[in-house]
Chain A
């Protein structure tokens, strides 16, 4: 049963956990992200009372479990990151997770790309639209996107070229992508 569940996507596991109250599915989902939770929480361990790993992680899991039953979760990684940040901020008030507008737009585009994957004609049409949108972006954003996605440059290479840090390079890429997603979605609405 566990083996079968590990092959399911995040969306399916969440659905099972919510609709069927399948705690095994919930466990599989938690296990899938457990190493990332451990890593992200490491700087906040042993910093004061109630920050021992034996307390922090079970509490985090409980919080996630409770949140899973009530929240709409389009992306598991964003939901987990939001919950960890909320716990680290030590806010007992359960701050509900809502995906940002940029995130929703990006997800819509991801779905669109997935949808046209089997249709070459539609693929070409979407690619042409994206190319046109890419040209509308600021020069730096356009440069970073083209270098990273079309020329397969790494964060380090881009950072070295522009003399930015890796974090800054990633931030520029993220913002450029969000701008592009917004432009594309606006074109779709028009």
Chain B
């Protein structure tokens, strides 16, 4: 134990002790320190010339009197200069903090704006992706408007049923006598289409359907009308980029159709027409049924339900006349859309063999296959 104490005492020869503080200095001079404290101070005094000199000076009474006020004023002088500096520092620190805050906010809003922009672009892209499959399915039909002027015969061939309606539809608006003359025209639609395949006209014509068709739901009619207007113009999908552009056109057509549809209703067939109606029905029924079925199939085709469209087209393809040919042509297009090129080719060949209005179109499609 004594050995340990001895060790500690030996080690304290080289222990580092701080200078006398402003409290210890007068107390040492006055002999008001404890023995331990005094010994510690003296240990420090062995090495420290500054403290020893200060004590030597202050032991003289004339300096002792001056010391206290000078020490206080010196302390105040240093403190005041520090205070000034610290205030400047505070202001600088505050300004720095404010600048940091501002820059942080700027960065935050920039990042937020970028994120919102990126999110918007992503959403738009996603929307485009979702639209793509539907438009692909009906690409062949929707694309046609662009090639309208280039393929007048084919267009005419498909517009024909509509044109028939045009004639029929226009006639109710005209004097009653003309309406009675219409049935023979509807019963035997001309194979080759006359000119003026204006879409508006066709839509108007469809909007004024004959009596038997009124039983069918309006929605199917509208879509079918749209399809009819578009169908002949879509022989092949040549450019995938064009798929997106027709979309707004299709959206627009129903509104036009609806508008036009509203107009004829008040001009519904007059009472006198009632007498002629049964005759008209009997003559026009097979064609209008085929037309309706064809339109319904077109609706499924347009909606992308190819299997349903195919089954309906198949059913129609058996019927003789124009709708049979049209259905086969559409059937071929459906097969082509599904990737069944063999079946599509066979169907196009059949259309060519039929030597109807769609011959050239089918031949062109065959060549492209």
| Residues of A participating in the B interface, judged by any CB pair closer than 8 Å | 1-2, 23-24, 27-28, 30-40, 42-43, 45, 53, 57-58, 61, 77-78, 80-81, 84, 106, 109-110, 112-114, 116, 123-124, 126-127, 130-131, 134, 145, 148-150, 152, 154-155, 167, 170, 173-174, 177, 180-181
- Neighbouring A residues of B107 by C-beta, 8 Å: none
Q: How far is the CB of A146 from chain B (nearest CB, A)?
A: 9
| Residues B87-115 near A (CB distance < 8 A) | 89
Can you list 8 A-B contacts (CB < 8 A)? A2-B82, A38-B67, A38-B74, A39-B57, A39-B71, A127-B8, A148-B42, A177-B46
Interface pair B82/A23, CB less than 8 Å apart: yes
In the complex, besides A35-B54, A84-B50, 9 extra interface pairs with C-beta distance below 8 angstroms are A1-B86, A23-B82, A36-B20, A81-B53, A106-B14, A116-B11, A126-B11, A149-B12, A149-B13
Nearest B residue to A76 via CB reads: B19
Nearest B residue to A103 via CB reads: B47
Contact of B89 among A24, A113, A145, A174 (CB under 8 A): A24
In the bound complex, CA of A150 to CA of B10 (Å): 7
- Neighbouring A residues of B74 by C-beta, 8 Å: 34-35, 37-38, 57
Nearest B residue to A178 via CB reads: B47
Majority SS at the chain B contact face? helix
Nearest A residue to B90 via CB reads: A1
B interface size (C-beta, 8 A): 51
In the bound complex, CA of A58 to CA of B55 (Å): 22
- Neighbouring A residues of B45 by C-beta, 8 Å: 155, 170
| Residues of B participating in the A interface, judged by any CB pair closer than 8 Å | 6-16, 19-22, 25, 35, 38-39, 42-43, 45-58, 63, 66-67, 70-71, 73-75, 77-79, 81-82, 85-86, 89
- Neighbouring A residues of B53 by C-beta, 8 Å: 39-40, 81
- Neighbouring A residues of B55 by C-beta, 8 Å: 39
- Neighbouring B residues of A61 by C-beta, 8 Å: 78
Given that A24-B82, A170-B45 are known contacts, is A57 also in contact with B77, CB under 8 Å in the complex?
yes
Q: How far is the CB of A170 from chain B (nearest CB, A)?
A: 6
In the bound complex, CA of A161 to CA of B53 (Å): 23
Contact of B50 among A30, A77, A148 (CB under 8 A): A77
